[in-house]
Amino acid sequence: MGVFNLNDPRWGRDDGDQNGRGEDDPRSPQRPPRGQGPNQGPPDLDELWRDFNRKLGGLLGNRRPNGQGGSNGGGNGGGGGRPGFNPNPKAAGFGAGLIIGIAVLIWLGTGFFIVQEGQQAVITQFGRYHSTVGAGFNWRLPYPVQRHETVFVTQLRSVDVGRDNIVPATGLRESSMLTEDENIVDIKFVVQYRLSDARAFLFESRDPDLAVLKAAETAVREVVGKMKMDAVLAEERDQIAPRVRTLMQTILDRYNVGIDVVAVNLQQGGVRPPEQVQAAFDDVLRAGQERERAKNEAEAYANDVVPRARGTASRLKEEAEGYKARISAQAQGDAQRFKSVLAEYQKAPQVTRDRLYTETMQQIYGNVTKVLVDTQNGGSNLLYLPLDRLMQAAGSGSSAPGAPITTTPPSSSAPTTSPIERTDPARSRERESR
């Protein structure tokens, strides 16, 4: 058993390495690699390290003579030792440049990134905003020169406003709002929003979601503070959400946080009075509903009655117009007839009076059932019946049983003249001369 010095270059080698010949000496007998022969363990770490050094040296231009290595072995082992390192400058420069180039390419390759649909990427250069890119395959300068942060711009986000948490300072819920008439109502709603500017969303506000919540609370308190309690609970309840949305958008635009308010939705039962007076307000709401129902019924009745009344009024108006036209025409005809009679009367007053008298008496006596006998003329009482009329009445089957029968008594020598015929001779001559 021999004693080996740690500085001996043969330390760790097999006993077969004689005369200072190394493992890579072509004159040394071929042996199976460590770990491949029979009864051999895993490869030696020193051998792996030497193999790596040989490959690296070959890449950097290490030239070794075909013979033995340098004189590192000294007198121990007769020149055996590690081979000398004689780099080739040209090959070493090429190898170093190749390694650096590959490293640079790998470094530049880390700058490629993909932005998904519905996203935007904000690129910063040394922490300062540089640009914003959309969906697709993009490239930036690698870290640490530039970095990118991806945000969803089409995603619909939401925040609840009006929680049931009790505020210690007031003892009221967070959802409690004060109306114009100094009443308290609880309002709960949901705000839906999306990003409109990724740069403003990342750099203009420290916490954009909190900014949305505070803007919503500010807007709803201002809107409710300008309304009375009855309007909030019933009359103008549907106007709360659009007013809050408009005011919220104005506030967020002033803050420049890059957010668009999409909708403000009141929750189910989101507007209600405090629990202590809930029952009383329910009665008020029911009374209001009854009032609306009665109002609707009255409007329906009015819609049914008013058209019919208008139709009746229109019909009566048309009848009145017809009656007016008929009476006016009749009056005009009577006036015209009176004018014509007046003209005739002015020509012959007595004749006209007698004729009018006779026509009037004919109209009067034509509707009576009595027989009139003229006894003042002093004639015979012999009556002449109108046989022709009696025969006509019998032939017609007594069609007019109520028709009067008039007879005229004949005179003793000549027929009695009528009052019209008994006129003044001078007046007759006057008519003839005309």
In this predicted model, what pLDDT tens digit does every residue of 12-57 receive, in sequence order? Answer: 555 444 444 444 444 444 555 544 454 555 667 778 777 877 776 6
Give me 322's structure tokens: 């017809």
Cα angle value 223/227/229 (rounded, 5°): 125
**Three-class secondary structure assignment of 27-79:** CCCCCCCCCCCCCCCCCCHHHHHHHHHHHHHHHCCECCCCCCCCHHHCCCCCC
The partner residues of 261 in beta bridges, in order of sequence, read 193
CB 204 within 8 A of CB 256: yes
- Highest average pLDDT, of 152-156, 179-183, 333-337, 376-380, comes from 333-337
pTM above 0.85, yes or no: no
The partner residues of 160 in beta bridges, in order of sequence, read 190
Q: Which of the residue ranges 19-23, 108-112, 323-327, 377-381 would you say has the lowest mean pLDDT?
A: 19-23
Q: How far is CA 18 from CA 13, 23, 26, 81, in A?
A: 10, 10, 13, 12
Q: How far is CA 226 from CA 6, 178, 221, 244, 250, in A?
A: 95, 9, 9, 12, 17
| Digit-coded pLDDT (tens) for 340-360 | 888 888 888 888 888 888 888
In this prediction, residue 130 has a pLDDT band, given cuts at 50, 70 and 90, of confident
